[in-house]
Amino acid sequence: MFEDLIQMIRSLYKTEGFIPLHEPRFSMLDQKYVLSAIESTFVSSVGEYVNRFEQDLAAYVGAKRAVVTVNGTAALQVALRFAGVKADNEVITQPLTFVATANAIVYNGAHPVFIDVDRETMGLGPDALKEFLDRFAEKRNGGIYNRLSKRRIAAIVPMHTFGHPCRMDALMEHANAWGIPIVEDAAEALGSFYNGKHCGTFGKMGIFSFNGNKTITCGGGGAIVTDDEALAARIKHITTTAKISHPWKYVHDEIGYNFRMPNLNAALACAQLEQLTGFLEDKRNLAKEYASFFSDRKWGEFVLEPKKCQSNYWLNALILSNKNRRDELLKMTNEYRVMTRPIWRLMSDLQMFQNCQTDSLKNSKWLQERVVNLPSSVRL
């Protein structure tokens, strides 16, 4: 029953060969910038492309500052630290996410708490968040504590699943009511807007990823964005080995990380960012084609951008009517060399996170059984 879908995807990509889920797109511009970084000999820890990409990215998303890093996971690890996450604290996030979200919490010695997503956005649900906080949070010693675990709740990390924005206004309202900082995992959401404001710019900080499968890539890379200039300066310092800037003195004033983005990668990132608008246009057209195909198919519902949102449609997603249908689709499309993939296993079902506190996870479980990603590469 999925023959027509396979045929339709083949016609979108005009190939009889293997169709991957998301492959990068490179042009002469990418080659030019990378070559110029090589010719400059500044391929590593210093170089003009790093500064340029930080400025260009901040300008694009509408944040005061961006600090680029070696990857998105490192960006989230450091952002959480600067949001005030300490050992034995808790961080609220969603179970429906890529494993890096939960890992970055644990790198800070903290414990993830998994709260349900909304069905429509597939991202952290404001109502579920409020319900959890009303039931378990209490204010004492100038902090917010979980009545059950007695641990401090240090931060909240919503993730914009496949580039579809979470309901940021309601999430911010509930987080602000308790005074808990939000760090947005916007790794998948470059080019996505909620109410005209770019994802990743609502919370205290937001992070992005430029891994090979993301909307734009520089091989590997990440970024932290924030409107707090002093915070950005602190983050820049600590992600670049905490070296004091000086023409020849060679002194480090605290324990820093070597998390900076190499200039070679930043060169590619600058070139890719220049092409983002074209990529986004093509991805919207692709999503439109999928939407129209599924408009009269009863067995699958194509995921559209939420209300008041502009999604980047990073990975197109389909909700099958049930788990068996989903498994049939996965089997057949992959057999026919059209790559599809189920949404992530819930973090709370992975062995390393199975003892973390959760709520009912009703929507997360429902989506986990039904959602598949469809080929989503830019076709330019």
Give least dist CB 222 to ligand PLP, A.
5
Q: Which of 94, 121, 201, 209 binds ligand PLP (CB under 6 A)?
A: 209
Could you tell me how far CA 303 lies from the centroid of its own chain?
17
Closest separation between CB of residue 107 and ligand PLP, Å?
12
Output the smallest distance, CB 23 to ligand PLP, in A.
15
Element (H, E) at 106: helix 99-107
In whole angstroms, the minimum distance from the beta carbon of 185 to ligand PLP comes to: 5
Measured from the CB of residue 216, what is the shortest distance to ligand PLP in angstroms?
A: 12
187 is an interface residue for ligand PLP by CB under 6 A: yes
In the chain, beta strands by DSSP E: 65-69, 90-93, 111-114, 137-140, 143-146, 153-157, 183-185, 193-194, 197-198, 205-209, 222-226, 300-302, 309-310, 316-320, 341-342, 371-374
| Strand spans (E) along 199-275 | 205-209, 222-226
Of 96-104, 111-119, 132-140, 283-291, which part binds ligand PLP (CB under 6 A)? Answer: 96-104
Which among 98-106, 143-151, 285-293, 326-334 is the span making contact with ligand PLP, rule CB under 6 A?
A: 98-106
Asked if 98 interacts with ligand PLP (CB under 6 A), we say yes
Q: Could you say whether residue 112 binds ligand PLP (CB under 6 A)? A: no
Smallest gap from residue 101 Cβ to ligand PLP (A): 5
> Could you count the other beta carbons within 10 Å of the beta carbon of residue 336?
17
Report the residue from 71, 93, 201, 263 that binds ligand PLP according to the rule CB under 6 A: 71
Q: Which stretch binds ligand PLP (CB under 6 A): 67-75, 166-174, 192-200, 294-302?
A: 67-75
Q: Does the protein bind ligand PLP through residue 222 (CB under 6 A)?
A: yes
| 260 close to 235: Cβ distance less than 8 angstroms | no
Residues binding ligand PLP: number (CB under 6 A): 14
Q: Write phi, then psi, for 274 (nearest 5 degrees).
A: -65, -25
Contacts of residue 81, Cβ cutoff 8 Å, sequence gap at least 6: 108
Out of 64, 214, 323, 365, the active site residue is 214
Residue of 162, 175, 155 lying closest to 122 (CA atoms): 162
Q: For ligand PLP, which residue of 24, 72, 95, 306 counts as binding (CB under 6 A)? A: 72
CB distance 329 to 320 below 8 Å: yes
CB of 98 to ligand PLP, least distance (A): 4
Q: Residue 101, interface with ligand PLP (CB under 6 A)?
A: yes
Q: Measured from the CB atom, is 5 or 225 closer to ligand PLP?
A: 225
> What is the dihedral sign for C-alpha 348, 99, 111, 109?
positive
Query: Is position 214 annotated as part of the catalytic site?
Result: yes
Is 185 one of the binding residues for ligand PLP (CB under 6 A)?
yes
73 belongs to the binding site for ligand PLP (CB under 6 A): yes
Sheet containing strand 65-69, strands side by side: 65-69, 222-226, 205-209, 183-185
Q: How many CB atoms lie within 10 A of CB 131?
A: 16
Pair 235, 66: CB distance under 8 Å:
no
Q: Look up residue 236 and give its two tokens.
A: 């820049």
Which CB atom, from 181 or from 206, has the smaller least distance to ligand PLP?
206
SS3 144: strand
Paired strand residues for 136: none
Q: Tell me which of 93, 97, 146, 358 binds ligand PLP, using CB under 6 A.
A: 97
Closer Cβ to ligand PLP, 80 or 232, answer by number? 80
Q: Choose which of 54, 116, 118, 188 interacts with ligand PLP (CB under 6 A).
A: 188
Give 276: exposed, middle or buried? Use CB within 10 Å, 0-12, 13-18, 19+.
middle
Per CB under 6 A, the segment of 129-137, 183-191, 330-338, 367-375 that binds ligand PLP is 183-191
Q: How far is the CB of 186 from ligand PLP (least distance, A)?
A: 9
Classified as helix, coil or strand, 365 is helix
159 touches ligand PLP (CB under 6 A)? yes
Residues designated catalytic = 214
Q: Which residues bind to ligand PLP, rule: CB under 6 A?
A: 71-73, 97-98, 100-101, 159, 185, 187-188, 209, 211, 222
